A and B are shown apart, each in its own frame.
Chain A
Amino acid sequence: MKARVLIHPKEGILDPQGQAVERALPALGFEGVREVRVGRLIELEVDDPARVPEMCERLLANPLIEDYEVISDVGHPAPPSVADAGHAAGEP
């Protein structure tokens, strides 16, 4: 099963990379952006998704400085929405 782990700096920890991005966006005309935090995404194909949180605690994240979020079952097909049904019918 495919799982995704989102890792980001813990709240309260200075994230200079996020700050640099935040300063760069207005230069391109994107005003009104605040609280940019840069993390990373890890994708895994796992037999037992129940073990992913333990993997995070022990290796994928450093719980002292990072929070993580596990999104399992990524590959599971979502129920078709109206837009998808339209595609299936051959519309652009």
Chain B
Amino acid sequence: MLPASHDLAARPKQIKETGPTAWWAKPRADDARLRRFAASEMRFGVVRFPGSCDEVDALLACRRFGDAELLWHGDADLRGVDAVVIPGGFSYGDYLRVGAIARFSPVMGAIGDFARSGGHVLGICNGFQVLCEAGLLPGALLPNTGLRFLCRQVEVEVVEAGTPFTNACAAGDRLSIPVKHTTGRYYAPTQVLQGLEAHARIILRYAPGANPNGSVADIAAVSNGGGNVMGLMPHPEHAVDPICGSTDGGRLFESLARHVAERVAA
């Protein structure tokens, strides 16, 4: 018998989605004016696992471009959202291996079905690790070659600009986005790597000399075969406001919002 805290389907006694402490939980009136796309045009869902820590930043980043709400890991229901963001953090404590336990949560079952039917999924950092463990993206993330936790701004280069996640960028654009991880060394067997190269599925690379973690072929972001699922180690949600020194991360959210809004309208 699992302790209650490990019961995947159990809800906490009180989800802090309302009340004065959760100012971010409900869209504010001025959110709508800032948004590029109206709530009717596109809605993001941001997953919250036990141990997630970037879901609020991701939620607020999404709200700059569309409507957004939190999805609970214990619900196998995506509440009709148009795109899913799996945020950074330490889902289920990263026990056993990063992302290994989270992939079995009810929400991941629903996300798998959503992705296989063409729905758009963006995995950031731990979200990338979870998507790899779930088999929705190829490869795996290993401990950084330097074995240290890294927290710094890095330059990444846009390799593929025509994707749902990068259509607001041009190929070769440099984006300044922070990384913060211990387990960020992307690895895939040579054969898989050749497939990724051949099918234009390497979306972002660390700029020459800026590879912080020893990722193979400087890979910072890869997509699945359908191009509708992407994972990346850098944190675009931490680079959407000028107060953080860079707004480059916003271009990825803008790309996704634009792509999905066009798809919803079609």
User: Taking the nearest CB of chain B, how far is it from the CB of A80, in angstroms?
Assistant: 37
Binding stretch for chain B, among A44-52, A57-65, A70-78, A81-89: A57-65
A12 nearest CB neighbor, chain B only: B189
A16: B residues at CB distance < 8 A = 143-147
With a cutoff of 8 Å between Cβ atoms, the chain B residues found around residue A36 in the complex are none
Q: Is B142 an interface residue (CB 8 A)?
A: yes
Q: How far is the CA of A48 from the CA of B133 in the complex (A)?
A: 26
Name the A residues within 8 Å of B145 (CB-CB): 14, 16
Q: How far is the CA of A20 from the CA of B146 in the complex (A)?
A: 10
Q: How many A-B residue pairs have CB under 8 A?
A: 30
- B85 to chain A: closest CB distance in Å? 24
| Interface footprint category on B | 10 to 19
Residue among B100, B142, B143 making CB contact with A59, cutoff 8 Å = B100
Q: Within the complex, which residue of B139, B143, B188 is in contact with A17, where a contact is CB–CB below 8 Å?
A: B143
Chain A residues, Cβ within 8 Å of B185: 14
Q: Smallest CB–CB gap between B68 and chain A, Å?
A: 31
B187, CB-defined interface residue at 8 Å: yes
What is the interface residue range for chain A against chain B? Answer: 10 to 19
Question: Is the Cβ of B214 less than 8 Å from the Cβ of A14?
Answer: yes
**B263 close to chain A: CB less than 8 A:** no
Select which of B104, B140, B143, B146 is within 8 A of A64 by beta carbon.
Answer: B140
Judge if B97 is at the interface, Cβ distance under 8 Å: yes
- B97 close to A64 (CB less than 8 A): no
B-facing mask of A1-44, CB < 8 A → 1, else 0? Answer: 00000000000011011001000000000000000000000000
Residue B96 interfacial (CB < 8 Å): yes
Beyond known contacts A64-B189, A65-B140, A65-B142: 6 more, CB 8 A cutoff? A16-B144, A16-B147, A59-B96, A59-B104, A60-B96, A62-B97
- Which A residues are within 8 Å of any B CB, using their own CB? 13-14, 16-17, 20, 59-60, 62, 64-65
